[in-house]
Structure 1
């Protein structure tokens, strides 16, 4: 039996992961009354497997508006971290000292130079980076291994503790009056006069505006409000070591030392459907690459491992759009929930409550994946 929830918020947010809670927190800061409808722990949570990078370098190759969007979020991250600390007392351990993409061959380094050079040109030169040879890299990262031939470095990159971030967003949004409904599992959204009705396992919720931030669930929910979000899962696996003495004061794309001293190793990308189990073959490759980068890790004990499903669009870039058929319905989906958290809270939220759409978002409609005939049918 469903229960019709009479009291209506200004905005419903479907999804209580990093994307949904960042948007909800931003909406509450804008003065909106918000209800977050979360599927619960039985869902495929991308948030629980995030590597924790606030990463800029290389992103947007092939679609430079994404580079600008990512950079804008990284620039706003200190403001988000400060706001969360003030609202909750939780330090999310933001550090932005710059980051390294480690290379093991001349070909890898040449490819980095090509990609970053193109991005710098497309962004009008405002894209600082350096290519470092092995000697220069060892001066900055003394623990680097002899197989590493160099790296790209940008001062734009950083990292946070993603578990503390999710906790802080949940705490902060509720302190600002957001209602969190767990175990809701929204299956149907019905446009109706004055807004939308979200039908879930235990109730029906109504609001004039709705934001779909349901990760992989957006693929089935978006068409119900005239939107298109053909997202699919991409598995990533992560290893975590015991705590060790500080040795890595900058994040790298594959290895980072957390604020608590443990070492995370990751960066697998696997097309395996909805299988979110760990596999020894992939984890062994991750471990070997980590040891090649930092040889002393061979003697460090591993204490945890997990896998999670990223939310990938066909071209890997985000989808941001308001429905033209049912204005007031928005879709927000990406695979970089940590990096883009500041943009979601501080730029997406004002748009949802009636502000101007951020300039970069014109490049990310879901309709880009439709054929011309299907685009007309959605209009």
Structure 2
């Protein structure tokens, strides 16, 4: 069964795909987004919602600079989404902490921030705070915390609301969103591309952008891409809603705008398994209580595992196919943080605009000599 044509087809309806679609729509393109099924492994429905700069690109300057640009663009991006949809994504960019209970890990991270500072200069600022000084400014911090770093540029949003707002924004900008649309095949044909869906629907597009998250690897080779992504499991705890606000935001403990506390930060190479594990959940609870002992009396109401999308070296990939120049691949594990740039500068890059950013450092050619790709 054949069904229509599109100027640009985006495979993947998560935060990355929708942000990219919004930027292309604003540039005047006709865009169709093909979103998978509800039971697919969806990073956008299980992420932590951070808008985070600390530690990003300490040893890869292009990523540090790209992330800094994205973090700076978030206030205008959030405001623009609210203007388009009438919905606030609950951006709070009042600064964030990284807490440490291990002195060696604390020292290593402080050194990494020093390298990041050397790359970004006055576009980045951070503080390294000893445990005792931290407890003087935040009396509720536990005695096991040996120190923390603080970056005033860090923040967070409501990630599920962001996903819904992006869907509304894409539709409001004239985009087409096809749900429960699992693309099983894509082939170059006659100067364009033929997409085949699981239900045998066929669609043609002049250009294609592969933003399929963990579904990327199944289609990448068909378009001449060498990038293969892998899953990395993170597990989360969600507490009951609290009347009082936490006095801090961290990369592992954050209070969402509705009042509940989200606790996470684990990393496990567990393959395509997004189930939660009792041992890890207990470790998350223990970490939260070490950092902020008052959480010991708070009830956990939900827990889940979710899979991050990781490239071979962990950094974003923005690639044009060597075989088919109108095919692009976009993948990263920082889709929330990078969303403002995916909705603006990345569209210029896909369109080949003269003022497009130079994304050569993120091309998949860096994997050419690596078996990891």
Q: Same fold (TM over 0.5)?
A: yes
Name the CA distance, whole Å, in 2 between partners of 1:335 and 1:194: 31
2:296 maps to: 298
Q: Do residues 336 (structure 1) and 334 (structure 2) align?
A: yes
Matched ranges for 1:79-98 at <5 A = 79-98=76-95
SS in 1 for 2:344: helix
Name the CA distance, whole Å, in 2 between partners of 1:250 and 1:90: 25
SS in 2 for 1:28: helix
Name the CA distance, whole Å, in 2 between partners of 1:365 and 1:344: 15
Does the Cα contact within 8 Å between 1:276 and 1:308 map onto a contact in 2? yes
1:276 maps to: 274
SS in 2 for 1:187: strand
Kindly tell me the number of residue pairs found equivalent between the two proteins: 372
SS in 1 for 2:346: helix
Does the Cα contact within 8 Å between 1:236 and 1:270 map onto a contact in 2? yes
Compute the TM-score of the two structures, normalised by the length of structure 2.
0.95
Offset of 1:246 from its aligned partner? 3.0
Does the Cα contact within 8 Å between 2:46 and 2:305 map onto a contact in 1? yes
Name the CA distance, whole Å, in 2 between partners of 1:249 and 1:31: 44
1:108 maps to: 105
Name the CA distance, whole Å, in 1 between partners of 2:24 and 2:244: 38
Name the CA distance, whole Å, in 1 between partners of 2:332 and 2:226: 14
Compute the TM-score of the two structures, normalised by the length of structure 1.
0.94
Does the Cα contact within 8 Å between 1:234 and 1:269 map onto a contact in 2? yes
Matched ranges for 1:253-264 at <5 A = 253-264=251-262
1:123 maps to: 120
Name the CA distance, whole Å, in 2 between partners of 1:360 and 1:295: 46
Name the CA distance, whole Å, in 1 between partners of 2:170 and 2:245: 35
Q: Which runs of 5+ in 1 are unaligned?
A: none
Q: Do residues 41 (structure 1) and 38 (structure 2) align?
A: yes
2:50 maps to: 53
Matched ranges for 1:112-191 at <5 A = 112-191=109-188
1:308 maps to: 306
Does the Cα contact within 8 Å between 1:141 and 1:248 map onto a contact in 2? no
Offset of 1:184 from its aligned partner? 1.5
Offset of 1:250 from its aligned partner? 3.6
Offset of 1:360 from its aligned partner? 5.2
Name the CA distance, whole Å, in 2 between partners of 1:110 and 1:125: 22
Does the Cα contact within 8 Å between 1:68 and 1:360 map onto a contact in 2? no
Bigger Cα displacement from structure 2, 351-360 vs 331-340 = 351-360
Name the CA distance, whole Å, in 2 between partners of 1:358 and 1:117: 30
Bigger Cα displacement from structure 2, 117-126 vs 335-344 = 117-126
Q: 2:11 aligns with which of 9, 14, 27?
A: 14
2:221 maps to: 223
Does the Cα contact within 8 Å between 2:59 and 2:115 map onto a contact in 1? no
Q: Which runs of 5+ in 2 are unaligned?
A: none
Offset of 1:353 from its aligned partner? 2.4
1:99 maps to: 96
Does the Cα contact within 8 Å between 2:349 and 2:357 map onto a contact in 1? no
Residue deviations 1:7-34 (CA, integer Å, cap 9, x gap): x222100001111111111111222111
SS in 1 for 2:336: coil
